[in-house]
Structure 1
Amino acid sequence: MESKRQQKFAGVLQEELAQVFQRDGGAFLPNTLVTITRVRVSSDLAVAKVYLSFFNTTNTELSINTVNAHTGEIRYKLGARIRHQVRVVPELTFFVDDTNEYVERMDTIFDKIAKEPRQPEEESE
């Protein structure tokens, strides 16, 4: 369970990283919208796991690899934005948030189930 301090810091990171991706993300991911869906911070605030969702891209694996290749640059820009709020800029680790894909997959499964003909229930006496 995250402490209030971790949650608050994760919120700051999420907001500032969103600004970094909005302003500078087009340089390394052109025509791709990146959304920071969740940020998890370690108890010492030194490591942050950032979950990203990509829109307008066909290859999310390539997108996450591109972001990971630019981690140092992203961390530097984040540090410039939050340098007066923290002592140490956390190490960033990026992951793909695939909850949207999971929800879509579950919706298709439920649609298939709903379209199947129902078998009459047997009455037990």
Structure 2
Amino acid sequence: MDASRLDRLERQVQKDLAEIFREIAQNQFRGIVFTVTRVRISPDLSIGRVNISLFPVKDKALVLDWIKEHGSLIKDRLVRKMKGSLRKVPDFYFYLDESVDAEAEIDRILKEGGDSPIK
């Protein structure tokens, strides 16, 4: 698959997964905001890597485990949303995107104006 078609597919999958996770949050995880921060799909469409940010969640691993356990349900919903536009749907692997947490920690440190770890 050429790069521009793959980019369009990744953006569409990201958008559709965001809608699916919004529905899941309403039904399973009230008060949690799911953000699909990045989707990368292999050129042969066999593997998809999905980065997810969760807020506000104390035990993110618990939510991620639930997502992984229900991966086939999420994939089925995605297939229905895409209405058969793909011959082959990748196997998705879900990962936590920790960049939002890292940004929040940096902001907290800067606002505190606290001690610098660098001397």
* TM-score tier after normalising by the smaller chain length: 0.7 to 0.9
TM-score by length of 1: 0.79
Q: CA deviation at 1:72?
A: 0.6
Note if contact 1:36-1:53 (Cα within 8 Å) is conserved in structure 2: yes
1:34 aligns to what SS in structure 2? strand
Per-residue CA deviations over 1:25-66 (Å, capped at 9, x if unaligned) read 433433322110110110112211000011122111111111
Q: Which residue of 2 aligns with 1:23?
A: 23
Q: CA deviation at 1:113?
A: 6.3
Aligned runs of 1:1-125 on 2, under 5 Å?
Answer: 3-110=3-110
State the structure with more CA Rg: 1
Alignment length, in residue pairs?
115
Name which of structure 1's ranges 2-11 and 94-103 shifts more when overlaid on structure 2: 2-11
Q: CA deviation at 1:21?
A: 1.3
TM-score by length of 2: 0.82
2:65 aligns to what SS in structure 1? helix
Q: Write the distance in 1 (CA, Å) between the matches of 2:110 and 2:32.
A: 30
Structure 1: any 5+ residue segments left out of the alignment? 117-125
Note if contact 2:10-2:40 (Cα within 8 Å) is conserved in structure 1: yes
Note if contact 2:35-2:54 (Cα within 8 Å) is conserved in structure 1: yes
Q: CA deviation at 1:18?
A: 1.1
Q: CA deviation at 1:104?
A: 2.3
Structure 2: any 5+ residue segments left out of the alignment? none
Percent identity at matched positions?
23
Q: What is the root-mean-square deviation in Å for CA atoms of aligned residues?
A: 2.2
Note if contact 1:6-1:43 (Cα within 8 Å) is conserved in structure 2: yes
